[in-house]
Amino acid sequence: MKLSKISVAVVTINIVSYIFGLINSFFFNKFWTFRSKKYKYEEFFWFIIVFFIAFGIQYCLSIFLKEELKFNPMFAYIIGNIFYTATGFIGNKLITFRKNERC
């Protein structure tokens, strides 16, 4: 019984930490990395979309490298995170915080 309570707590803590990390990342990217002056909810919406795309690529690539190509799990994770970072940066630069308005 105690083990299941710990598992639930770990899942809850991970969800909460991802939410806070995502909000923190949004504001740092908005004001520091991309210096966006716009105040639109649309930016946050696109930031979440880019996050899920980048996370999906990272997750699938890491699993593929680990399970199919038998990479060391740590190397698979590192390579996946490199793709996550690149996808997130490019996606946010071209979509979320683009300089010109969307049509």
pLDDT tens-digit profile, the chain (103 residues): 465 666 778 888 989 999 999 999 999 999 999 999 887 899 999 999 999 999 999 999 999 999 999 999 999 999 999 999 999 999 999 999 998 765 5
**Alpha-carbon distances of 54 from 7, 10, 13, rounded to whole Å:** 26, 23, 22
Residue-level pLDDT at 101: 66
Whether residue 17 is contained in a domain is answered as: yes
Q: What percent of the chain has pLDDT over 70?
A: 91
- 38 is in which domain, residue-wise? 2-96
Query: What is the tally of structural domains in the chain?
Result: 1
Whether residue 102 is contained in a domain is answered as: no
Dist CA 81 CA 60 (whole Å)? 11
AA letter at 88: G
Whether residue 81 is contained in a domain is answered as: yes
Whether residue 21 is contained in a domain is answered as: yes
Query: If you count them, how many residues does the chain have?
Result: 103
Residue-level pLDDT at 3: 59
Q: Taking the CB of residue 81, how many other CB atoms lie within 10 A of it?
A: 14
